Amino acid sequence: MTDTKTRIDETVKANDVVLFMKGTKDMPQCGFSSKVAGVLNYIGIEYTDINVLADEDIRSGIKDYSDWPTIPQLYVKGEFVGGCDIIVEMTLSGELDGMFETNGITFDKDASNKIREANG
């Protein structure tokens, strides 16, 4: 487990935005992962996607690492942000925009506004 925790920790700290998900950003393999990847892709976030289905150690290890029982899991600047429901809520409230702005993460503000308009 220590090796897995180290691998996860290094990945989270070496990349500004990381999404641990089922599948990949181009081909999500579950609805929740698809929803979060869809938001990130739509608003133009550059992020590292980690397919937990490709590595059972990572799949179980990420849950211990974050103390969060579900996947997907989003990390920004080394900090755990949340899973699907939290990311959707933060997107709709504008909180996700603020977090990206605070951390210097480039994204398409107009696209973010369009998501809110479509769901408002």
The CB density around residue 5, as the number of other CB atoms within 10 Å, is 14
Domain count, the chain: 1
**pLDDT in the model for residue 1:** 54
The arithmetic mean of pLDDT across residues 97-103, rounded, is: 97
**pLDDT in the model for residue 89:** 97
Domain of residue 19: give its range: 2-119
Average pLDDT, the chain: 96
**pLDDT in the model for residue 120:** 78
- pLDDT reading at 85 higher than 70: yes
Compute the radius of gyration of the chain from its Cα atoms. 14
Residue 84 labeled ligand binder:
no
CATH, residue 71:
3.40.30.10
In this predicted model, what pLDDT tens digit does every residue of 16-62 receive, in sequence order? 999 999 999 999 999 999 999 999 999 999 999 999 999 999 999 99
